[in-house]
């Protein structure tokens, strides 16, 4: 449907084109996600793997709403709000790349990929992405909690070791996320470049 294509275009601009989010893109993204969630409940939208991926993408914006609510409570929960925003960004980027990959398979390998492009596989993939991002957020929150505990109480050898391990893991994860972000942008550009020129009149 045209509305879903417009929504995907909006999310690509918001997460894979703009260098950082702003109030306008965030508001448009939230409105688009709310409309998409309602639209996907309609009988006019068939239950396909692409619809499952788009639904999960729209639901990820719930984290933005939660971060805005938490941000209103002051500095005490500001770190959690930032982690929720990060989770939303990472979820959205990965799910958008999944949609792009599926579009590539539909365009170039329709019959070969059909057995794998099922609703159940799409749901499993979405759950896996959410679990991985949740684990990432847990690691960042653990590192921050250990850092605060070390600063507010006499440090012990065990606590210091845990802080060192979590800090190292967090730094490595941040580097990995940065590299993956660049690779996802390049991959998405390549996929849609191939699709565009494959559909253009020769």
Give the per-residue pLDDT at 154: 57
Q: What is the pLDDT of residues 8-55, one digit of tens each?
A: 999 999 998 887 778 888 999 999 999 999 999 876 667 789 999 999
Structurally, the chain folds into a number of domains equal to 1
User: Higher-confidence residue: 108 or 202?
Assistant: 108
**Residues of the chain above pLDDT 90, percent:** 60
Q: What is the pLDDT of residues 47-81, one digit of tens each?
A: 789 999 999 999 999 999 999 888 777 655 778 88
Q: How confident is the model at residue 175 (pLDDT cuts 50, 70, 90)?
A: very high
| Owning domain of residue 101 | 1-199
d(CA 110, CA 139): 39
Closest to 33 (Cα-Cα) out of 58, 16, 11, 55:
58
**For residues 64 and 85, is the Cβ–Cβ distance under 8 A?**
yes
Q: How confident is the model at residue 97 (pLDDT cuts 50, 70, 90)?
A: very high
d(CA 10, CA 8): 5
- 107 CB-near residues (< 8 Å, 6+ apart): 194, 195, 198, 199
Query: Does the structure show a pLDDT above 60 at 168?
Result: yes
> pTM here?
0.91
Closest to 69 (Cα-Cα) out of 84, 89, 56:
84
């Amino acid at each position: 449907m045209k509305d879903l294509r417009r929504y995907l275009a909006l999310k690509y601009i918001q997460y894979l084109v703009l260098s950082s989010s702003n109030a306008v893109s965030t508001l448009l993204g939230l409105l688009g996600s709310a409309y998409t969630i309602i639209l996907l409940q309609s009988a006019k939208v068939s239950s396909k793997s692409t619809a499952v991926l788009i639904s999960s993408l729209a639901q990820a914006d719930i984290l933005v709403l939660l971060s805005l609510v938490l941000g209103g409570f002051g500095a005490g929960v500001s770190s959690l709000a930032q982690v929720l925003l990060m989770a939303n960004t990472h979820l959205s980027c990965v799910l958008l790349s999944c949609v792009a990959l599926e579009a590539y398979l539909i365009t170039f390998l329709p019959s070969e990929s059909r057995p794998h492009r099922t609703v159940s596989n799409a749901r499993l993939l979405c759950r896996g992405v959410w679990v991985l991002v949740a684990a990432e957020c847990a690691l960042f929150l653990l590192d921050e909690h250990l850092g605060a505990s070390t600063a507010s109480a006499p440090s012990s050898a065990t606590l210091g070791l845990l802080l060192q391990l979590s800090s190292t893991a967090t730094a490595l994860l941040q580097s990995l996320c940065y590299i993956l972000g660049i690779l996802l942008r390049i991959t998405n550009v390549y996929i849609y470049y191939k699709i565009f020129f494959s559909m253009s009149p020769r």
